Amino acid sequence: MLDEITRAVLARVEANREAILEDVSACVRIPSVVGHEGPAQAYMQSIFEREHLDLDVFEADLAQVSSHPAFVRSPWDTKDRPNVVGTLRGTRENAPSLALNGHIDVVSPEPVSAWTHDPWGAERVVVDGEERLYGRGALDMKSGTVANLHALKAVIDAGFRPRGTVSVQSVVEEEAGGGAGTLATLLRGHTASALLNSEPFNRTIVLGQPGLMLFRVSVEGMTAHAAYSQRGVNAIGKLLPLYEAMIALDAERAARWVDPFFGALSDRAVNLNIGTFRAGDWPSTVPGSAEMECRISFIPPQSQAEVRSEVESRIANVAAADPWLRDHPPSVEWFGWQADPWRQDTADPFIQTLGRVVTEVAGEVPPMVSATAGLDARLCGSFGIPAACIGAHGANMHGADEYVVVDSVIETVKIVAATIVAWCGVD
Q: Are residues 202 and 216 in the same domain?
A: no
**pLDDT number for residue 25:** 98
Indicate the SS3 state at residue 308.
Answer: helix
C-beta separation of 255 from 270 below 8 A: no
The domain that holds 327 is classified in CATH as: 3.30.70.360
pLDDT at 336: 87
Contacts of 415 (CB under 8 A, 6+ apart): 151, 357, 358, 361, 362, 390
Domain match, 14 and 130 both: yes
Q: In terms of domains, do 142 and 96 share one?
A: yes
DSSP tally for the chain: helices H, then strands E = 11, 18
Domain span at residue 398 reads 4-208+341-424
CATH code assigned at 411: 3.40.630.10
Residue 84 to residue 87: CA distance in whole angstroms: 10
The average pLDDT across 397-421 equals 98
Dihedral angle sign, alpha carbons of residues 226, 231, 236, 237: positive
Binned at pLDDT 50, 70 and 90, residue 245 comes out as very high
In this predicted structure, what is the pLDDT of residue 113?
A: 97
Question: Do 158 and 8 form a contact (C-beta atoms < 8 A)?
Answer: yes
Domain match, 257 and 239 both? yes
State the Cα–Cα distance between residues 187 and 165, nearest whole angstrom.
18
DSSP state, residue 287? -
pLDDT for 93 beyond 80: yes
What is 329-384 written as a DSSP string? --EEEEEEEEE--EE--TTSHHHHHHHHHHHHHHSSPPPEE--SS--GGGGGGGGT
The verdict on 232 and 217 lying in the same domain is: yes
pLDDT (average), residues 347-375: 95
pTM over 0.75? The answer is: yes
Same structural domain, 235 and 256: yes
The domain boundary residue, chosen from 316, 339, 362: 339
Is residue 149 domain-shared with residue 66, that is, in the same domain? yes
Q: Are residues 221 and 355 in the same domain?
A: no
**Residue-wise pLDDT tens digits, 207-221:** 999 999 999 999 999
Q: In whole angstroms, give the CA distance from residue 141 to residue 178.
A: 14
What is the mean predicted confidence (pLDDT) over 411-419? 98
Same domain, 189 and 89: yes
One domain, residues 177 and 87: yes
Is 80 exceeded by the pLDDT of residue 58? yes
Please write the tens of the pLDDT for every residue from 6-43: 999 999 999 999 999 999 999 999 999 999 999 999 99
* Average pLDDT value for the chain: 96
Neighbours of 227 (CB within 10 A): 8
Residue where a domain terminates, one of 339, 356, 377: 339
Instruction: Note if the bond before 301 is cis, omega within 30 degrees.
Output: yes
* Same structural domain, 180 and 318: no
Mean pLDDT, rounded, for 391-411: 97
Q: Is the model's pLDDT at 400 over the cut of 90?
A: yes
| Residue pLDDT, tens place only, 135-191 | 999 999 999 999 999 999 999 999 999 999 999 999 999 999 999 999 999 999 999
Please say which residue of 305, 322, 339 terminates a domain: 339
- pLDDT in the model for residue 373: 86
What is the four-CA torsion angle of 22, 28, 30, 35, rounded to 10 degrees? 140
Mean pLDDT confidence for 240-261: 97
Query: pLDDT value at position 267?
Result: 87
Residue 16 has a pLDDT of 98
Number of domains in the chain: 2
Whether 213 and 339 have beta carbons less than 8 Å apart is answered as: yes
Domain co-membership, 32 together with 121: yes
Going by pLDDT thresholds of 50, 70 and 90, the confidence category of residue 1 is low
Confidence of residue 248 (pLDDT cuts 50, 70, 90): very high
Residue ranges of E strands in 211-271: 211-220
